[in-house]
Amino acid sequence: MFSLLSEFTRRLGTTVHFIVMAESDLDPPRRFSFRPEKVLAGSVGAILLIFVLLLVLILVSPIAAWLPGHVSKEMRQDARINQLRMEAIEDTLRMQTAYVMQLRNVLMGTVDTTVTSLTRSRQLLQSRPGVNVDLLSDQRTADFEDHLQPAIPLDRLRISGREPIPSAGTGAPYLNAIRFPVMPPVNGLTTRRFDARTGHFAIDIAVKEGSFVRSIGDGYVILADWTHDGGQIIAIQHGNGYVSVYKHNSRLLKRAGDRVRAREAVAMSGNSGEITTGPHLHFELWHNGLAQDPNYYVAEL
């Protein structure tokens, strides 16, 4: 074979005669004439044509996804979506860090440092498009004066001679009124009191994780879900417009719509949620939309 190819290369530019003859056949030999350079050019052209056809076939078929360095339209779209998600996560982390720093400084009493840190965080986030810096709360809530104790229930307010606004629980016989004072939802140490000026509309009770959290009265579960800040949350609607809220639980024992009795276990205490400093119960009490200091309603706090 190699000797035949060498003959072709040595005979370039001349006409070559090719004789085909079989050893065991009596047929006369057949003679072909051709020029070696044309045969080589045709062979190279055929090889290139086959290569191009194979390349096109691979690119237009699903096999292209397996080629190294190939990026499909779907992959580019997924990469763009992942990039946007990553930027959103980074913004959320910055905002959460600013909020945690604010909360830490409030607990330590360094209010000036909190304001400076929050201002820097706002300036940093303001430079990024699509970021709502208003989500970062100020040191004081805008309506904190409405919740200063004693918070006046809405049914006691009169507006320009109109009749008082009825209580949210009035006329609901299926909700029994709570007889105050009530027993605390858990037995533990109160670590933080009610403070409307800083937006802490609750009391924090440090308790061992896994302790039963009990309803302060009869009612219906109106919320049983997980939130970013409060973790596992359960809220109960009581009679006469009262709503009790229990946050940072490790497990919820009731679902929305369930009826509960006074002192019935509704959750198990924990440390869920981002805004928490350890296992404790964040307990809120609301009356007709106004936050109440549980210290005036719950015994042994």
For 8, left (φ over 0), alpha (ψ -120 to 50), or beta?
alpha
Around Cβ 256, how many Cβ atoms within 10 Å?
13
- Between β-strands 203-206 and 231-237, what pairing exists: parallel, antiparallel or unpaired? unpaired
User: What's the chain's length in residues?
Assistant: 301
Looking at this protein, which amino acid is placed at residue 226? W
d(CA 94, CA 98): 6
What's the confidence (pLDDT) of residue 137? 42
Cis, peptide link before residue 181, omega less than 30° from 0: yes
What's the confidence (pLDDT) of residue 36? 72
Q: Per-residue pLDDT for 297 more than 90?
A: yes
Q: What's the distance, CA 158 to chain centroid?
A: 44
Residues 36-73 have pLDDT tens digits of 777 778 888 899 999 888 878 776 766 666 666 666 67
- Exposed, middle or buried: residue 156 (CB in 10 Å: 0-12, 13-18, 19+)? exposed
Q: Per-residue pLDDT for 210 more than 90?
A: yes
What's the confidence (pLDDT) of residue 156? 43
Over the chain, what is the mean pLDDT?
Answer: 76
Give the dihedral of Cα atoms 47, 51, 54, 59; nearest 10 deg: -170
Output 70 or 14, whichever has higher pLDDT. Answer: 14
What's the confidence (pLDDT) of residue 133? 44
What's the confidence (pLDDT) of residue 165? 36
d(CA 122, CA 207): 35
Residues 280-295 have pLDDT tens digits of 999 999 998 889 999 9
What's the confidence (pLDDT) of residue 154? 43
Q: Per-residue pLDDT for 85 more than 50?
A: yes
Q: What's the average model confidence in pLDDT over 81-110?
A: 72
User: Please, which residues have CB within 8 angstroms of residue 133's CB and are 6 or more apart in sequence?
Assistant: 122, 125, 126
What's the confidence (pLDDT) of residue 201? 92
Q: Per-residue pLDDT for 173 more than 50?
A: no
User: Please, which residues have CB within 8 angstroms of residue 198's CB and are 6 or more apart in sequence?
Assistant: 106, 139, 140, 141, 144
Instruction: Specify the 3-state DSSP secondary structure of 262.
Output: coil
pLDDT-derived band at 166, boundaries 50, 70, 90 = very low
Q: Which helix (H) or strand (E) holds 232?
A: strand 231-237
pTM above threshold 0.75: no
pLDDT-derived band at 205, boundaries 50, 70, 90 = very high
Q: Per-residue pLDDT for 172 more than 60?
A: no
Residues 260-276 have pLDDT tens digits of 999 999 999 999 998 88
Measured CA angle at 253 (ends 249, 259), to 5 deg? 120
